Amino acid sequence: MPSPAVALIFGTRPEIVKLAGVARLLGTRARLVWTGQHWDAKLTTCFFDQYGLPRPDHVLDGIGGEARGRQIGRMVAALSDHFTRQPPAAAVVQGDTNTAAAGALAAHCAGIPVVHVEAGLRSFDNAMPEEANRRLIAPLADLHCAPTPTAAAHLLREGVEAGRVLITGNTVVEATLESLPGKAEADRLLTRHGLTEGGYVLATVHRPENTDDRARLARLLDQLAGVGLPVLLPLHPRTRAAVDRFGLHRSIARLRQTDPLDHAAFLGLARHCRLLVSDSGGVQEECTVLKRPLVVVRNSTERPEAVRAGFARLARPGQQLALALREMLADTTATERLARTPSPYGDGSAGTAIVAALRERYLGPEPTAATPLPSPGHLHPAPAATAMA
């Protein structure tokens, strides 16, 4: 009989980044299932290659580009069929994507234990699709891998049993440390984009709250163009489509646009920028590892730890954003202060802690030692995770 495997459900590039270390540590006990929620090769294929992952064991067809409800429904149906044919020992979902929600629901319906990585985040903003996805997953999960004590506390308040909550840290820490390019490559990136260290702003915009409102997107682009420094904007397909739909070419032309970057290139540019401006959840975590200040251009955030630690500031386009940009660019103490501030998301041991829990709870003893996939970089040694008492 083959060794039991854990299904890792991927569908977006942040899920590749954050689960790659778990997949490598599980080795032959990992079954990679790709939903195709992100269908643009520039946003996905290069990430599998960069993180040394093999092609997925199972791939869903026709998922990308669908409206949210249809996308989740089609994923649930396809994943249910797959789990019926090849039931895993457990199914791991990550974060708050449509893929994570569909994976959790399909596994639960098939009687397969659900492990939620990055569990317990809450924005308390029900207008966010991600918040709905997180709250859908919580009652379905058998094991909640919470990245921080704050996230764990949310779960306990919602009635999750303490024995099913494990504080692991966030796998983004080791992913960032692995992928961060050295000085020579960072210098080449700066030269390629015509930038100087500490002399530019790096921005990303992709959330519907910013891209689906013409007035808001126009205000955001204009405010970025007015900061007085070059602004590099890797252009997400959703943002590009919104610019075309709303006729905002004149506004965006004042920014230095580029195609989506692979993870290492983005981190290299983020590490040496003066300021980050983004609506991304992952960037709110990565900035705490890179020690760079960030303006979070959103209505709310499910990652208050970065704000409390002094790395990030929440601001909506308009007066809030104008003030945040002005004050954070004028802060000459930020570099030294943030360099001394530890990341609230852990020390780079989350993947090891999660895999230890998977082996203990679902896989049992190894009939033969699983061979970890080779790591593309160095992982810091890992202390044990913290169980909720």
Distance CA 18, CA 172 (A): 5
Q: Residue 130: its pLDDT value, please? A: 94
**Quick one: tokens of 361?**
């709870």
CB 200 within 8 A of CB 292: no
Sheet holding 312-314, edge to edge: 256-258, 231-234, 201-204, 275-278, 294-296, 312-314
CB 206 within 8 A of CB 239: yes
Q: Residue 41: its pLDDT value, please? A: 62
DSSP 149: H
Distance CA 314, CA 203 (A): 14
Which one-letter amino acid corresponds to residue 316?
Answer: R
Distance CA 311, CA 300 (A): 16
CB 101 within 8 A of CB 137: yes
- What fold characterizes domain 181-339? Rossmann fold (3.40.50)
For residue 150, the tally of other CB atoms under 10 A from its CB is 18
Q: Residue 382: its pLDDT value, please? A: 36
- For residue 218, what is the enclosing H or E element? helix 214-225
Distance CA 55, CA 227 (A): 42
Of 347, 263, 349, 351, the closest CA to residue 27 belongs to 351
CB 294 within 8 A of CB 278: yes
Q: Under 8 Å CB-to-CB from 69, ≥6 apart: which residues?
A: none
Which one-letter amino acid corresponds to residue 382?
Answer: A
Of 262, 252, 271, 242, the closest CA to residue 338 belongs to 271
Domain 6-171+348-387 falls under CATH 2.170.150.70: no
Of 306, 361, 377, 350, the closest CA to residue 171 belongs to 350
Q: Residue 36: its pLDDT value, please? A: 87
CB 282 within 8 A of CB 17: yes
Q: Residue 99: its pLDDT value, please? A: 96
CB 294 within 8 A of CB 306: yes
Distance CA 368, CA 26 (A): 13
For each of the chain's 389 residues, which pLDDT tens digit applies?
456 999 999 999 899 999 999 999 999 999 999 998 876 665 566 667 778 888 889 989 878 777 889 999 999 999 999 999 999 999 999 999 999 999 999 999 999 999 999 999 999 999 899 999 999 999 999 999 999 999 999 999 999 999 999 999 999 999 999 999 999 999 999 999 999 999 999 999 999 999 999 999 999 999 999 999 999 999 998 999 999 999 999 999 999 999 989 889 999 999 999 999 999 999 999 999 999 999 999 999 999 999 999 999 999 999 999 999 999 999 999 999 999 999 999 999 999 999 999 999 999 866 554 555 555 543 333 334 555 54
CA angle at residue 276 from 345 to 375, to 5 degrees?
Answer: 50
Q: Residue 51: its pLDDT value, please? A: 80
**Torsion sign across C-alpha atoms 70, 73, 78, 79:** positive
Distance CA 229, CA 274 (A): 9
Q: Residue 27: its pLDDT value, please? A: 94
Q: Is 206 a catalytic residue?
A: yes
Catalytic residue among 82, 116, 144, 206: 206
| Intervals of CATH 3.40.50.2000 along the chain | 6-171+348-387, 181-339
Of 136, 137, 76, the closest CA to residue 110 belongs to 76
Residue with tokens 């593309």, as numbered in its chain: 376
- DSSP helix/strand/coil, 295: strand
CB 17 within 8 A of CB 170: no
Q: Residue 381: its pLDDT value, please? A: 34
End-to-end CA distance of the chain: 37
